[in-house]
A = this chain, B = another copy of it.
């Protein structure tokens, strides 16, 4: 029995030291990142038995991803790609303070995951999991990835898992219209939808007051739970007709990448542990806040730390 299974692409993340540019750097910090594995890591860190499914090149780079995920306690179900041109997607990340901002360059075309098919994956794990999660990035990668996403959502749902989906629109992968069509098709087998306010508007064409947006989405797509994130303004959840609000916990941000995935991971972990929506929102917000203080995409945190943020907020020195 697994608590949480996720499916998606994980890339190598290469970033120069702070204050140094991609054009001039002589050194990369090497990490991994991918929305769905980020969620699995947050889940595993918070005590939830988590697994991640994907396709990787059979190479030291593919194994690099597996090793890193395993180190965080995530079990991996990998279709190994033996092709000559099998490749791991990479993304280059340059952190810059204001006004330079953070720059991301993706180099993910033709990554092994773009040729994934359901039968290549150890699908049995879906028959015995409490929850299944994926995001709107995966179906944008390729037609096979889209079809596999649909198949996994359907199978997990059929097997009784709670399914969740983070819309996560990526403008470098497809247009609003393409995304809308593909994603809404997938909502049929989704129980919980996470969506950023701006994506609800731009991709899903949902204007208006946030509670209305949530109601509209829930009603139109038969969603049990809709969680709308609003950056600094916190998150709002609509669950079984009831509205829940959650402010953000302030953080000294060292690395903002992965904050949204940490939120989802914290939320799902608490739900899997049996918590209600209120508690799940708190865990989501606290995990997201802690993530901001940690370099890399991954929320390397403990349940105790999450609880402490919820109870005390502040940091301080403990000795």
Contacts and interface: CB of A to CB of B under 8 A. Distances in A.
Interface of A: 14, 16-31, 59-61, 63-64, 67-68, 70-73, 84-85, 87-88, 90, 92, 94, 96-107, 109-110, 170-172, 249-257, 286, 289-290, 292-296, 300, 305, 309, 312-319
Contacts of A293: 19, 96-100
Nearest to A102: B317
| Interface-central residue, A28, A90, A106, by most chain B CB under 10 Å | A28
Contact of A317 (B25, B101, B317): B101
Where chain A touches its partner, the secondary structure class is loop
B318 A102 contact: yes
A63 B26 CA distance: 14
A256 to B, nearest CB: 7
A236 B235 CA distance: 44
A70 B74 CA distance: 9
A12 to B, nearest CB: 9
B96 A19 contact: no
Contacts of A249: 99
Nearest to A14: B28
A257 B71 contact: no
Contact of A24 (B14, B107, B300, B318): B300
B21 A300 contact: yes
Closest 10 CB pairs of A and B: A97-B252, A101-B315, A19-B295, A71-B71, A22-B60, A104-B319, A28-B28, A100-B293, A98-B315, A102-B317
A292 B110 CA distance: 35
A103 B314 contact: no
Nearest to A24: B300
Contact of A60 (B64, B103, B256, B315): B103
Contacts of A29: 26-27
A163 to B, nearest CB: 25
A179 to B, nearest CB: 14
Contact of A315 (B97, B107, B289, B294): B97
Contacts of A286: 99
A92 to B, nearest CB: 7
